[in-house]
């Protein structure tokens, strides 16, 4: 029971963090069809802006300014780079954002050094929210979860329930038609990209204080964020949320389980044989928990190629 409760708690929060980072990526892909490789770089940028402002002014100021600043960077990237290569198709957009990711990484190293920086949460947030089975549960984890939930609700309401949402969705579905109705499509795309980048910036400012802020953080989270988006269905916000939570829960539960193929075969009396063979048979689930998201992605791609909630199933 203890195991289940603690694992669920940890898994849900980690899932919400993944959602927070991948929300902007989903938004940009869903609305613009751009697979933004530099997305995790915006996340990293957010963390470093948060760190700089937390040191100079205050943690909360960083939390507000980071998304604005990163959003502005996103707008500039869309206006002066992506728009120019848009006509040449997806491959060019992909390569451009990939190049940007490399440049951002080196720039961060240039200005902040190769090592992790000391970005920490403020002392007033550093306390235990409650105690569960003798272990303190840090409040900041709940804070991360809350920010993610607020982000999801706000995005969902914005897209599904407001006039802006209608225009954005129209611009994605039928750009020519929306344009002839008098809407400025390039402006809409620029705005969407800016908001997507800003969301990543906010995620960086929030999560960077909990996880190490270093020049590799984009690389570390970048891959898993793509897994989330693919599993959830490219472009589906709800799908991303579900996929994030699934990955969070799977990772969290698998860590506590020492299951191996040998123990499975032990159920039918082949356990000793499998133990003696070793290798793959004795590899425990907990030691490969990092690969579970990728296994999940593989299965999803085979069963539902467009993802859990993708459009083209």
Partner 1 sequence: MRRLTALLLASTAVAMAAPAQAEPLRIGIIESLSGSQTSTGRLYSAAVQYGVDIINAAGGFNGEPIEVIEYDNAGGSTGAADEFRQAVADGIHIVFQGASSAVAGQITEDVRRHNIRNPGDEVMYINLGAEAMSLTGDQCHFYHFRYATTAPMRVNALVNAMAAAGELGTRVFSINQNYSWGQDMQTAIEDAAAAGGYEVVEAVLHDVNSIQDFAPYVARINAADPDTVITGNWSNDLLLLMRAASEAGLDVRFGTTFLDQPGNIANAGDTAIGHYLANNYVPDAGPAEFNDAYRDAVGHYPIFVEPPTIFAVGALAEALEQVDFGGGDIDVSAIALALEAVVYESPVGPITVRAEDHQTIRPVVVSHVVRGAAYPVDDTDLGFEVVGVVSGEDAIYPVQDSCEMERPD
User: Which residues of the shown chain bind partner 1 in the complex (CB under 8 A)?
Assistant: 2-3, 6-7, 10-11, 13-14, 17, 109, 113-118, 120, 128, 131, 133-138, 140-141, 210-212, 214-216, 219-221, 224, 248, 251-253, 255-256, 284, 286-291
What would the two tokens of residue 292 be? 């579970």
User: What's the distance, Cα to Cα, between the start and end of the chain in Å?
Assistant: 38
Cα–Cα dist 219/228, whole Å: 15
Shortest CB 13 distance to partner 1, Å: 8
Q: Where would I find the H helices in the chain? A: 2-32, 39-56, 59-77, 83-85, 90-112, 139-161, 163-173, 175-180, 185-207, 217-232, 237-255, 261-266, 271-277, 292-303
> Looking at beta carbons only, is 197 or 218 nearer to partner 1?
218
Please say which residue, 291 or 313, places its beta carbon nearer to partner 1.
291
Nearer to partner 1, 88 or 111 (CB): 111
Give CA–CA dist 231/247, Å, rounded: 9
Q: How far is the CB of 216 from partner 1 (least distance, A)?
A: 5
Q: What is the closest distance, in whole angstroms, from the C-beta atom of residue 18 to partner 1 in the complex? A: 8
What's CA 72's distance to the chain center, in Å? 20
Least Å distance, CB 54 to partner 1, is: 14
Q: Which is nearer to partner 1, 50 or 71 (CB)?
A: 50
69 vs 247, beta carbon nearer partner 1: 247
CB of 115 to partner 1, least distance (A): 3
User: 49, 107 in Cβ contact below 8 A?
Assistant: no
Q: What are phi and psi of 181, to 5 degrees?
A: -85, 5
Residue 132 tokens read as 């569960």
Specify the residue, 11 or 194, whose C-beta has the smaller distance to partner 1.
Answer: 11
Closer residue to partner 1, CB minimum distance, 24 or 138: 138
The CA–CA distances, whole Å, from 236 to 123, 278, 300, 302 equal 37, 42, 15, 18
Beta strands 128-132 and 135-138: pairing type?
A: antiparallel
CB of 144 to partner 1, least distance (A): 10
Bridge partners, residue 99, by sequence: none
Q: How far is the CB of 38 from partner 1 (least distance, A)?
A: 17
């Amino acid at each position: 029971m203890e195991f289940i409760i603690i694992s669920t708690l940890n898994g849900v929060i980690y899932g919400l963090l993944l959602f927070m980072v991948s929300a902007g990526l989903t938004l940009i892909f869903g609305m613009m069809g751009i697979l933004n490789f530099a997305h995790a770089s915006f996340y990293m940028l957010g963390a470093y802006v948060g760190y700089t402002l937390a040191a100079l002014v205050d943690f909360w100021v960083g939390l507000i300014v980071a998304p604005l600043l990163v959003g502005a960077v996103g707008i500039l990237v869309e206006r002066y780079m992506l728009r120019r290569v848009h006509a040449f198709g997806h491959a060019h957009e992909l390569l451009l954002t990939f190049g940007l990711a490399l440049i951002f990484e080196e720039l961060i190293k240039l200005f902040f050094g190769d090592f992790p920086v000391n970005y920490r949460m403020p002392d007033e947030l550093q306390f235990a929210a409650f105690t569960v089975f003798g272990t303190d549960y840090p409040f900041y984890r709940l804070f991360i979860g809350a920010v993610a939930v607020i982000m999801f609700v706000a995005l969902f309401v914005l897209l599904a329930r407001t006039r802006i949402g209608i225009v954005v969705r129209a611009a994605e579905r039928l750009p020519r038609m929306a344009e002839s109705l008098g809407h400025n499509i390039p402006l809409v795309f620029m705005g969407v990209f800016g908001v997507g980048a800003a969301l990543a910036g906010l995620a960086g400012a929030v999560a960077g204080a909990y996880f190490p802020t270093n020049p590799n953080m984009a690389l570390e989270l970048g891959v898993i964020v793509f897994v989330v988006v693919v599993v959830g269905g490219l472009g589906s916000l709800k799908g991303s949320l579900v996929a994030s939570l699934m990955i969070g829960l799977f990772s969290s539960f698998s860590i506590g389980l020492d299951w191996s193929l040998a123990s499975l075969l032990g159920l039918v009396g082949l356990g000793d044989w499998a133990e003696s063979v070793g290798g793959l048979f004795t590899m425990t689930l907990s030691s490969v928990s990092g690969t579970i998201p990728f296994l999940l992605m593989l299965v999803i791609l085979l069963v539902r190629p467009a993802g859990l909630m993708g459009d083209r199933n």
